Amino acid sequence: MKSNENVRRGAGDLIARYGTLGLMALVCLFLAISVPAFIQPSNLFDVLRQVAVVGIMACGLTYAVAAGGFDLSVGSVAALSTVFVAWLLVRNVPVLAALLVVLAVGAACGWANGLFCARLRIVPWVGTLATMLAVVGPQFMLTGGGSQIPGGLGPKQPLMDFLGKGFLGPVPVAALVMLLVAAVAEIVLSKTALGQHMYAAGGDRVAAETCGIDSRRVLWLAYIFSGVLAAGSGLLMAARMGLGQVRIGEPYLMDAIAAVFLGSTVIKEGRPHILGTIVGAIFMGIMFNGLTLLHTPYWGFYLFRGIMVFAAVALSGFRSR
Amino acid sequence: MHDPPSTEQRVLAMHNISKDFPGVRALDHVDFSLHGGEIHALVGENGAGKSTLIKVLTGIYACDEGCIELDGREVHVRSTRQMQDLGVACIYQELNLIPHFDVAQNIFLGAEPRGKLGLVRWSEMYREAERLLGTLGVSLDLRVPVRKLGFGQRQMVIIARALLHNPTIFVLDEPTAMLTRAEIGYLFGLLERLKEQGVGILYISHRMEEVFEIADRVTVMRDGKNVASLQVAETNPDQVISLMVGRQLDDMFPKTDLEIGPQLLAVGGMGDGALVQDVSFEVRAGQVVGIYGVLGSGTAELAGMLAGDRPLAAGKMLVRGEPTTFRSPHHALRDGIALIPKDRRDEGLVLSFTVRENMTLAGLGRWVSAGLIRSREEKAVTRDQIEALNVRTYGAEQVVQELSGGNQQKVVIAKAMLSQAQVYVFDEPTRGVDVGAKIEIYRLISRLLQGGAGVILFSSELPEILHITDRVMVMFRGRMVLDKLTQQTDADELLMYALKGEASETDVS
Amino acid sequence: MSASTTAVSGPALSRRQRLFIFLGNYGTLIGMLLVFPIIAMLEPRFLSTGNMLNILRQAATLTLVALGLTFVLAAGVFDISVGGTAGLCSIVAALILARGYGFPLAVAGALLTGLMVGIINGFLVARLHINDFLATVAMMFITIGMDVLLSKGANVHIDFEYAAELRLLGKGDVLGMPAATLLLIAVALVCHVILDRSSLGRRLYAIGGNPRAAHLSGVHVERLRWAAFILCALVVAVGGFMLSARLEGGKPRAGEALLGDSIAAASIGTTFLRRGRPHVLGTVLGGIFLATLANGFVFLNIPFYYQYIVRAFAIVGAVAFSGMRLQQR
């Protein structure tokens, strides 16, 4: 029995693996030529800082998709955590405690998604949509019906400022946080048995179960990770804006979806993975930066998001149920 | 009973096992035993209960009666996992692999060597996988995703995974159905080695020559019963086949001598470019044409092509003398050709629909004016059909999901009849229905014939083929290898052609 | 249940089984009806005729959107863009009226916009086989983008000299009934006839129930998926027009809130009478129920945001309870 080693190195395969990367490079080249401000290091670092929020959120979504689910609630959960952390900080809760509580709330949202989609076996799109809608309620509850928590993040918060706006040398702290989170996420997803089992459950649930993998538990955990990371991205969002705002996270959902699906076409074709997701998120950030530099009006971003999701999904070959 | 010489080496004993499904007794007080270092073949026609028996053994089904002993100790089967831990490994027909995982990942799926923090010890895993495949004598690139492997290679991955846990009982469910000759030889070598190591091997097959090549003992099942357990050395293929085929169906199928009418459908040189090649035959009114072939011989694909579900790459079709092409089942139905699919639940019925809605789905246009359904007429037609076909249901508004297999099948047939079909393509029409329903389905076929219809019957049950059809054809590797009047052939000949594609020397003499 | 008792016809159902079937069919309706006395006990004015009619008026917009959704659900697909589409259609209608082109053109504009969205959704899902949820999520954002683009992010004001019909639809009565309710009844009747009485509807349900079996029974699955998305978007467009009438103009991104409401209404509907099957009567009842709750919340001074949670629970509960196709095997 001979393996078809040489087939694997075929040209078609190269395009599949690196085609998206090439496309991204072309876009960057175009931007660099047409908008000189684009390649300024300060601008590039700024892109990275902006990417951090989407990047972390998309890492969470990567887990849900890898395990065979989906998570439409990530944007909403992030918005909830901006509001909740602001609410806590305004009430003089110590920063670290506030951060932990918010992450725990994110985990709880993920747990609920797991309950709906892994336990009750509701289709992930509908189950997580319910969570997405539900967490809008608590946001307004905390603001008392307004759109923001009055008082920003309360008294001066050095840690939050450092996370959201700080720099280490030329590098924004937020970008470093994203890279750290991504590194951990990558190790868990691709180096541990748990990550293997997530991929297995997402690849073929029946096959995974015949090998003794508890696919329900694995999927449930993936939703919890997704919830925690969504909450984390919300914290970064709050730190950057210096306030908690209702429904601020929803547009990021699209960016995260696009990042995950673009990412799944990069290097390891065909399945979502963290490195690809980060590449996808950075690409989305560059595109947005370019659109801003080209003075695209606000509605243009919505159209762009929709089109990017079509393109990413079509590229990744993610097909109908 | 042909009992083993000693019970010490008996690794498995199943006593008095019974299993019921709605409307069918799948296993009827079955006894079965397996020794260490033995290859025990389990043979029988489709629906005889082989698969159900191993699903009871591997813990997928719980049996309704009886007990299972492993190494002389009775076990209460709770889960597949438990049986795996007790040393029962099984290779199913469908290969449960994660397509984008590589060979080593698939072998160790669920059993990865873990280090600190749950990190997988990759190098150890690949080393172990290498070693394991080495002992199997297989060379495979461990880092190739399995979706790029051929069927035989995938099966080796599954076997390696099964052997990872050092099983004492190794079950293989028709492992050779999709393998090439060379791969089969390879597999048999492997089984011989395992046998020497004292593993008890349960080998399910319906290929006689394989059974006689490799097995030590053979157990024949029919209608959910263990008909006989024999030493292979003391029997011969003819005896086993006659045990498999068993009862006579003459009285079940009321064969009335019908005038064979005009040609309804003719196909010439039909092929899909891959699994079906150069098939030609015709069907006349009042005639049943049987098509027989083992899994993978192209019968399933041929049925799909006749029903417009698979495109033709070559050949032509004539319906009542007029050339035609089908781009979808819609066109086939329009031309009066209706498929009664093999898989009722997945392909035949909308399970959430009522009896009425299912029955009228294919011929719906008949009761529609200006886009609206004439519901009174629809209801009347359904009621008549329920009565005529003797469908046991609370009424036309019962959801078909709640009906038994035989009655569901009648609904599917009623649907085809209400589409005013003239040629009925039956694909395994009696699979998974009880004997009573079987007889009723045969009577229905007979009635269709009297009404001037033609029938094409795809079946893997030889008695059915032999007693219902007027003409029978055998497919082997996508080609028609035999085409005879049914009276002029017999079970042995059909089986021979289906398994080998030709008559053996002994047969010619 | 032992296997030997099945397959035989007509064994009498036990009292408990019958109760169970009854609750399965009517449980939701009973639950809905119980809400009225509870709210009324706390706040008697709730039950006044004026308020009841008001509830019906409020129910119109969301129920229309939910009716659209009922088509796609029946066909076994999903459309997350309904809210965005309703908003976009509303803006288009408002802009046409604001420019003084008149009522008929505004209706036509809204319907045409809906038609376009439906065709694109159908193309993406039925033809390209892109996952229906992802395709329509993306479409949601595209419709929002168009919405903001056309409205320039500002409210669209309409001069009612030219659009008395719009005010009638939004606030007025005809024959003692809110005009909005009459419109809803008319549209619901048409939808009911299509889904329940026509061959198109039967085939939509068939592809929703088992596309493979439907295909083998001669049903054109792809064509019918197109049809489902187009019908959905057209009815949603009517809902969008109704939204303009309620707002007496156009408000950017006003449609988005309708997404959750319409999903909730349609999924509540599936628990009523025909378990697991989306149908028009159920959707209408679900819509009225949600409007009743929203109205009752106002009477009881419960802040609006609790509705988000109620809605989510309604969706999850209804889907889990009805075993609708939105549940995986």
Helices marked H in C75-173 — which ranges? 82-98, 103-122, 132-151, 164-171
C-alpha to C-alpha distance for B342 and B353, rounded to whole angstroms: 19
Indicate the range of B63-72, B157-166, C162-171 predicted with least confidence.
Answer: C162-171
Looking at the partner chain, which of B334, B372, B419 has a beta carbon nearest the beta carbon of C197?
B372
Q: pLDDT tens for residues B97-137? A: 998 899 999 999 988 999 888 899 999 999 999 999 888 88
Q: What is the pLDDT of residue C182?
A: 95
Q: What is the pLDDT of residue A278?
A: 95
Q: How confident is the model at residue B236 (pLDDT cuts 50, 70, 90)?
A: confident
Is B234 a domain residue? yes
Smallest Cα–Cα separation from C141: which of C256, C288, C7, C10? C256
CA-nearest residue of chain B to A189?
B119
| pLDDT higher than threshold 70 for residue B7 | no
| pLDDT higher than threshold 90 for residue B416 | yes
C-alpha to C-alpha distance for B61 and B56, rounded to whole angstroms: 5
- CATH number, domain with residue B427: 3.40.50.300
**Among C137, C259, C325, C329, the residue to mutate for chain A (most A Cβ within 10 A):** C137
Q: pLDDT tens for residues B278-329? A: 999 999 999 999 999 887 788 989 999 999 999 988 999 999 999 999 999 9
Q: What is the pLDDT of residue A23?
A: 82
Smallest Cα–Cα separation from C145: which of C94, C91, C99? C91
C-alpha to C-alpha distance for A21 and A266, rounded to whole angstroms: 7
Whether C263 has its CB under 8 Å from any CB of chain A: the answer is: yes
Alpha-carbon gap: B252 to the closest alpha carbon of chain A (Å): 40
Under a CB-based contact definition with an 8 Å cutoff, are residues C225 and C90 in contact?
no
Q: What is the pLDDT of residue A5?
A: 39
Instruction: Please state the domain count of chain B.
Output: 3
What percent of chain A lies above the pLDDT cut of 70? 93
- The predicted model gives B16-36 an average pLDDT of 85
Residues of C in contact with A302 (CB under 8 A): 141-142, 144-146, 148
Strands B225-231 and B372-373: unpaired
Residues of B in contact with A7 (CB under 8 A): 148
The two structure tokens encoding residue A100:
């932990």
Write the CATH number of the domain with boundaries C28-35+46-322: 1.10.3470
The beta-carbon contacts of B438-443 under 8 Å, at least 24 apart in sequence, are B438/B252, B438/B406, B439/B252, B440/B389, B440/B390, B440/B406, B440/B410, B441/B406, B441/B409, B441/B410, B441/B413, B442/B249, B442/B252, B442/B253, B442/B254, B442/B468, B443/B253, B443/B254
Q: Distances in Å between the alpha carbon of B17 and those of B68, B218, C124?
A: 8, 18, 52
Q: What is the pLDDT of residue B288?
A: 93
Residues of C in contact with B309 (CB under 8 A): 215-216
CA-based max dimension of chain B: 79
Query: Does B412 lie in the same domain as B272?
Result: no
| pLDDT higher than threshold 70 for residue A7 | no
**Among A210, A213, A217, A269, the residue to mutate for chain B (most B Cβ within 10 A):** A210
Q: What is the pLDDT of residue A318?
A: 62
CA-nearest residue of chain C to A257?
C134
Residue carrying structure tokens 């032992």: C2
Q: How confident is the model at residue B1 (pLDDT cuts 50, 70, 90)?
A: very low
Contact B111 A211 (CB under 8 A): yes
| pLDDT higher than threshold 50 for residue C11 | no
Indicate the range of B10-14, B34-38, B181-185 predicted with least confidence.
Answer: B181-185
CA angle C197/B309/B406 to nearest 5° reads: 70
Q: What is the pLDDT of residue A10?
A: 56
Q: pLDDT tens for residues A283-298? A: 999 988 988 888 888 7
Q: What is the pLDDT of residue B59?
A: 85
Query: Does B297 lie in the same domain as B149?
Result: no
Under a CB-based contact definition with an 8 Å cutoff, are residues B142 and B104 in contact?
yes
C-alpha to C-alpha distance for B313 and C61, rounded to whole angstroms: 52
CA-based max dimension of chain C: 74
C-alpha to C-alpha distance for C315 and C265, rounded to whole angstroms: 8
Is B2 a domain residue? no
With the C-alpha atoms ordered C57, C61, C65, C68, is the resulting torsion angle positive or negative?
Answer: positive
Smallest Cα–Cα separation from A113: which of A228, A232, A3, A12? A228
Q: What is the pLDDT of residue C190?
A: 98
Query: Does B100 lie in the same domain as B155?
Result: yes
How many residues would you count in chain A?
A: 321
Which helix H or strand E contains B74, and what residues bound it? strand B73-75
Under a CB-based contact definition with an 8 Å cutoff, are residues A124 and A196 in contact?
no
CA atoms within 13 A on the CB side of C54: 14
| Highest averaged pLDDT of the listed ranges B117-121, B202-206, B481-485, C191-195 | C191-195
CA-nearest residue of chain C to B330?
C218
The two structure tokens encoding residue C174:
């005809």
Query: Does B428 lie in the same domain as B405?
Result: no
C-alpha to C-alpha distance for A202 and A272, rounded to whole angstroms: 10
Instruction: Indicate the residue among B245, B273, B306 that finishes a domain.
Output: B245
Q: pLDDT tens for residues A12-46? A: 666 666 777 888 888 889 888 888 888 888 899 98
Query: Does B403 lie in the same domain as B298?
Result: no
Whether C210 has its CB under 8 Å from any CB of chain A: the answer is: no
More confident residue, A318 or C145: C145
Q: pLDDT tens for residues B167-187? A: 999 999 888 776 777 788 888
Query: Does B273 lie in the same domain as B137?
Result: no
Is B162 a domain residue? yes
Strands B169-173 and B200-204: parallel
Smallest Cα–Cα separation from B444: which of B432, B460, B457? B457
- The predicted model gives B207-228 an average pLDDT of 87
Q: What is the DSSP string of B414-452?
A: HHHHHTT-SEEEEESTTTT--HHHHHHHHHHHHHHHHTT
Is B475 a domain residue? yes
Residues of B in contact with A193 (CB under 8 A): 112, 114, 118-120
CA atoms within 13 A on the CB side of B256: 13
Under a CB-based contact definition with an 8 Å cutoff, are residues A157 and A89 in contact?
yes
Whether A167 has its CB under 8 Å from any CB of chain C: the answer is: no
| Secondary structure string (H, E, C) spanning B103-126 | HHHHHCCCCCCECHHHEECHHHHH
C-alpha to C-alpha distance for C57 and C245, rounded to whole angstroms: 11
3-state secondary structure (DSSP) of residue B362: coil
Query: Does B150 lie in the same domain as B44?
Result: yes
C-alpha to C-alpha distance for B28 and B132, rounded to whole angstroms: 40
Q: How confident is the model at residue A11 (pLDDT cuts 50, 70, 90)?
A: low
Amino acid at B430: T
Tell me the domain boundaries of chain C. 28-35+46-322
Which helix H or strand E contains B66, and what residues bound it? strand B65-70
C-alpha to C-alpha distance for B276 and B299, rounded to whole angstroms: 8
CA atoms within 13 A on the CB side of B30: 34
Helix%, strand%, coil% for chain C, nearest 5 = 75, 5, 20
Q: How confident is the model at residue A3 (pLDDT cuts 50, 70, 90)?
A: very low
The domain of B372 spans 351-420
Q: What is the pLDDT of residue B254?
A: 61
Contact C148 A314 (CB under 8 A): no
C-alpha to C-alpha distance for C92 and C147, rounded to whole angstroms: 8
Q: What is the pLDDT of residue A321?
A: 41
Contact A191 B114 (CB under 8 A): no
Smallest Cα–Cα separation from C90: which of C227, C226, C228, C258? C258
Query: Does B176 lie in the same domain as B79?
Result: yes
Query: CA B126 from chain center: how many Å?
Result: 36
Q: pLDDT tens for residues B429-476? A: 887 676 677 788 888 998 899 999 999 999 887 878 888 899 999 998
Q: What is the pLDDT of residue B386?
A: 94
| pLDDT higher than threshold 90 for residue A195 | yes
The beta-carbon contacts of C316-321 under 8 Å, at least 24 apart in sequence, are C316/A116, C316/A120, C316/A122, C316/A127, C316/A130, C318/C28, C318/C264, C318/C267, C318/C268, C318/C270, C318/C271, C319/A120, C319/A122, C319/A126, C319/A127, C319/C267, C319/C270, C320/A116, C320/A120, C320/A122, C321/C271
CA-nearest residue of chain C to B419?
C217
More confident residue, C293 or B430: C293
Instruction: Indicate the residue among B420, B447, B463 that finishes a domain.
Output: B420
C-alpha to C-alpha distance for A271 and A260, rounded to whole angstroms: 9
- The predicted model gives C59-79 an average pLDDT of 95
Which helix H or strand E contains B67, and what residues bound it? strand B65-70
Q: Which chains are within 8 Å of A by 3+ CB pairs?
A: B, C
Phi and psi at residue A278, to the nearest 5° = -65, -45
Q: What is the pLDDT of residue A295?
A: 87
C-alpha to C-alpha distance for B231 and B219, rounded to whole angstroms: 9
Q: pLDDT tens for residues B351-363? A: 989 999 999 999 9
Residues of B in contact with C277 (CB under 8 A): 352
Query: Does B236 lie in the same domain as B113?
Result: yes
Q: pLDDT averaged over chain B?
A: 86
Give residues with Cβ within 8 angstroms of C138, minimum separation 6: A254, A305, A306, A307, A309, A310, A313
Residues of C in contact with A133 (CB under 8 A): 259-260, 308, 311-312, 315
CA-nearest residue of chain A to C252?
A299
| Highest averaged pLDDT of the listed ranges B49-63, B435-449, C62-76, C315-329 | C62-76
Whether C154 has its CB under 8 Å from any CB of chain A: the answer is: no
Residue carrying structure tokens 């042995």: B492
More confident residue, B7 or B418: B418
Alpha-carbon gap: C121 to the closest alpha carbon of chain A (Å): 11
Q: pLDDT averaged over chain C?
A: 87
Q: What is the pLDDT of residue C7?
A: 34
Whether B99 has its CB under 8 Å from any CB of chain A: the answer is: yes
More confident residue, B73 or A321: B73
| Highest averaged pLDDT of the listed ranges A147-156, B242-251, B381-390, C252-261 | B381-390
Query: Does B23 lie in the same domain as B155?
Result: yes
| pLDDT higher than threshold 70 for residue C323 | no
C-alpha to C-alpha distance for B137 and B127, rounded to whole angstroms: 15
C-alpha to C-alpha distance for B460 and B308, rounded to whole angstroms: 22
Indicate the range of A112-121, B233-242, B479-488, C319-328 predicted with least confidence.
Answer: C319-328
More confident residue, B140 or B425: B425
Query: Does B385 lie in the same domain as B328?
Result: no
| pLDDT higher than threshold 50 for residue B332 | yes
> Hey, which residues does B14 pair with through a beta bridge?
B32, B68
Q: What is the pLDDT of residue B4?
A: 43
